């Protein structure tokens, strides 16, 4: 009996609650449309009195008509305001959609270098993914380190380049650069070959280890990929810059507050996860001008030994590329 009574009580209790909600909805509707309610109410009252034959003072009738007209005018103005607000909201939404579509800014010529310079200025993070990191070695890495020293702050760098021990990927990348790359002025830089590709990658590893030993607040990771990229990605705290090997082609810049920036943060992370990571903490000490023996020991310690075919002059070439690299896009 108690359960039945309890069940019956719950059912009968829900009815008043439902009725109360309906009444609240009706009151809210009447408040939102008070102009129409007033106009209809006054018109109904006057109309009923006329039908019932009641004599209405002409002044009262005129006042009622004016009241109805005023309510209608008020309602018209209110509706106009609502439409303007709706149009404004729709326009703002369209503007945001257009901005999202235009989330990528194109760069050309000197704009590319200026964009890199602004990106390096106050960043505490730099993520690079590309072929061998020639521009990274020549400009980005040393200047980011100098800026970190000047501001006495930490710097985190993650570098994703070709695995120099993978002949297949080095050959594929060299072939791609010869086929589609920009031909520099004769004599400025040698043609891309498998050997040059390997030396450039080894030089980037050496440069990362050398700079790490000279800045305690530098956290730098090197990842070696077996996939030849066609684009280069430089990501800082403020933007993402996407470039190609030919400076004549258009580059892209994505600001940090754009969704595409976050997409590439995830994409670059996943790429590093599939590459071989070097533990630079195991690196042997390097002098200001590393010797050939120091460099050979370094790569042996990193489990990335230099090819047996590399002579001492070859190792010296790697050292020169690592610490005295020239900006490949100067001028």
Report all structural domains of the chain as residue ranges with CATH numbers, in order of start: 2-101 (no CATH), 107-323 (3.30.870.10)
Instruction: List, for residues 316-330, the tens digit of each pLDDT value.
Output: 999 999 999 988 877
Instruction: List, for residues 243-284, the tens digit of each pLDDT value.
Output: 998 888 899 999 998 999 999 999 999 999 999 999 999 899
Per the model's pLDDT, the better-predicted residue between 7 and 45 turns out to be: 45
- At residue 103, the pLDDT reads 75
Helix or strand run (H / E) with residue 161:
strand 155-162
Contact between residue 287 and residue 294 where contact means Cβ atoms under 8 Å apart: yes
- At residue 322, the pLDDT reads 97
Phi/psi of residue 81, each to 5°? -60, -40
Q: Which of 86-90, 177-181, 252-256 has the highest mean pLDDT?
A: 252-256
Number of residues in the chain: 331
Contact between residue 217 and residue 95 where contact means Cβ atoms under 8 Å apart: no
- For 164-187, give one letter per residue: b (16+ CB within 10 A) or e: bbbeebbebbbebbeeeeeeeeee
Q: Is the pLDDT of residue 49 over 70?
A: no
Alpha carbons 129 and 261: distance in angstroms, whole number: 14
- Label residue 34 exposed, middle or buried (CB < 10 Å: 0-12, 13-18, 19+): middle
Per the model's pLDDT, the better-predicted residue between 103 and 272 turns out to be: 272
Q: Is the pLDDT of residue 331 over 80?
A: no
Contact between residue 221 and residue 280 where contact means Cβ atoms under 8 Å apart: yes
Instruction: List, for residues 222-252, the tens digit of each pLDDT value.
Output: 999 999 999 999 999 999 999 998 888 899 9
């Amino acid at each position: 009996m108690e359960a039945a009574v309890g069940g019956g009580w719950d059912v009968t209790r829900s009815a008043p609650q439902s009725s109360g909600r309906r009444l609240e909805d009706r009151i809210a509707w009447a408040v939102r449309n008070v102009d129409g309610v007033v106009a209809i109410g006054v018109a109904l009252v006057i109309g009923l009195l006329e039908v019932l034959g009641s004599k209405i003072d002409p002044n009262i009738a005129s006042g009622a008509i004016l009241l109805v007209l005023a309510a209608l005018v008020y309602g018209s103005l209110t509706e106009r305001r609502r439409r303007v607000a709706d149009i404004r909201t729709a326009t703002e939404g369209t503007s945001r959609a257009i901005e999202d579509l235009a989330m990528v800014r194109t760069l050309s010529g000197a704009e590319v270098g200026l964009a890199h310079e602004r990106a390096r200025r106050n960043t505490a993070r730099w993520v690079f993914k590309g072929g061998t990191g020639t521009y990274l070695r020549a400009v980005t890495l040393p200047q980011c380190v100098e800026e970190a020293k000047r501001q006495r702050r930490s710097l985190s760098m993650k570098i994703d380049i070709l695995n120099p021990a993978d002949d297949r990927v080095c050959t594929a990348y060299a072939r791609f650069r010869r086929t589609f790359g920009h031909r520099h002025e004769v004599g400025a830089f040698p043609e891309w070959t498998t050997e040059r590709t390997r030396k450039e990658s080894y030089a980037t590893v050496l440069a990362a280890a050398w700079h790490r030993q000279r800045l305690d607040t530098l956290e730098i990771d090197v990842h070696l990929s077996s996939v030849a990229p066609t684009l280069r990605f430089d990501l800082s705290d403020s933007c993402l810059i996407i470039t190609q090997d030919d400076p004549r082609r258009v580059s892209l810049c994505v600001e940090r507050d754009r969704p595409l920036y976050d997409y590439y943060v995830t994409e670059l992370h996943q790429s590093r996860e599939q590459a071989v990571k070097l533990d630079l903490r195991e690196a042997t000490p390097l002098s200001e001008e590393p010797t050939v023996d120091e460099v050979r020991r370094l790569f042996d310690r990193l489990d990335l030994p230099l090819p047996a075919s590399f002579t001492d002059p070859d190792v010296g070439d790697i050292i020169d590329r690592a610490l005295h690299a020239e900006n490949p896009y100067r001028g």
